[in-house]
Structure 1
Amino acid sequence: MLGMLKKYTIELCPEVNGKISNNGTPIENLLIERSLTYADEEYLDNCITNANGEFSFEARSIKSRLPGNILHEPVVRQVIEFTMDDNNSEIYIWATNQHDITCPAICKSHLSNLISDIRNEEEVFELINLEAPEYPLIVRSNCSL
């Protein structure tokens, strides 16, 4: 019963740093959007790439009582994307579901240095989650992971 009263820190996303290019040429002034979802709450923010095509987001955490409920399975959805003006389709730099209240080390490692080229095809990667091997990190991305 006491576990349901405690507030837990949910790590929605660590600090993100990345770079966007077009065949190696940095893309300036591109809107990058981040969507983080936990339970029924969604957190949205965005940034604009600089002259070097670089972008960043601060780490984001929240407090919640949900992990104290034995019937609750914690899942954090992370999406970082952009839309090119010429085709109006969203391109995923990073899209995954994290199955814990803390971000796995492999996730932190990749999110600290996302290198995206708009010419890359999106792929689905399965990353080994050393902290919880039963939950590999399935990532959809146009980065080389």
Structure 2
Amino acid sequence: MLIERFKLPMLIAAVALLILFTTTQVFANMFGFFSKEEFELSASVEGRLLYEEQPVAGKKVFRKLNYGDDYIDEVTTGTDGRFSFPEKVIKTSKPSNMFDNESVIQHIYTLDENAEEVTIWAVRVFPYEHKDTLTEYLNDLVCDIAHEPQTYDIAAKEDKQHTFAVFTTCKL
């Protein structure tokens, strides 16, 4: 008799848990909470560092990428002032999450004699923007750190109404 008394409430509880679990999993998958995918934080970078039009050799150059977390790379310029960074790709669930609206901040810089940051390139990119335009610039940076950085509005190739605000010492 005691089992008969609890049979219906236990059945209802089991069905409720089953519905809750399956709808929670569907909800999580639908809004991208658990699925991770590869996401490009930055295209590869090829550049040349100058000071008053002369190559700067042996200078450390940093690339800091922020997409919720910081990702920092460091290279040293060659005798001709050249530096490069490989493409940076991470695995994340953020792009598939409909509630994510974070942007990627790309900041390439060096340090002066007082260990103060000297910006070479800085831009904020939203994950779904036209990044191909920036990729072309990042493949051939020529940056003279004797000059103060300037802000440039670069029109996206695919959509001329869309622009990127780039803060840089590089010739664009």
- TM-score by length of structure 1 reads 0.88
Alignment correspondent of 1:8:
37
Task: Report the structure, 1 or 2, having the larger helix content.
Answer: 2
2:50 paired residue among 16, 21, 43: 21
Is the contact between residue 74 and residue 101 of structure 1 (CA under 8 Å) also seen in structure 2? no
Is 2:168 the counterpart of 1:141? yes
Q: Which has the higher contact order (CA 8 A, sep 6+)?
A: 1
What secondary structure sits across from 1:107 in the alignment?
A: helix
d(CA) in 2 for partners of 1:75 and 1:134?
A: 19
Count of aligned pairs: 143
Give the drift of 1:133: 5.8
Residue 24 of structure 1 deviates from its aligned partner by: 1.9
The two structures have a TM-score, normalised by structure 2, of 0.75
2:126 maps to 99
**1: CA distance between counterparts of 2:159 and 2:99?**
19
Task: Return the alpha-carbon distance in structure 1 between the equivalents of residues 163 and 46 of structure 2.
Answer: 22
Alignment of 1:1-145 (within 5 A): 1=27, 2-3=29-30, 4=32, 5-39=34-68, 41-85=69-113, 87-100=114-127, 104-131=131-158, 135-145=162-172
Tell whether the 8 Å contact from 1:124 to 1:138 is kept in structure 2 after alignment: yes
Question: Per the alignment, in what secondary structure is the counterpart of residue 18 of structure 1?
Answer: strand
Structure 2 residue runs of 5 or longer lacking an equivalent are: 1-26
Q: How much has 1:32 moved relative to structure 2?
A: 0.3
- 92-101 or 51-60, which moves further after superposition? 92-101
Query: d(CA) in 2 for partners of 1:101 and 1:9?
Result: 14
Instruction: Indicate the RMSD between aligned Cα atoms, in angstroms.
Output: 1.9
Query: In the aligned structure 2, how far is the partner of 1:126 from the partner of 1:134?
Result: 11
Instruction: Note the C-alpha offset of 1:101.
Output: 5.3
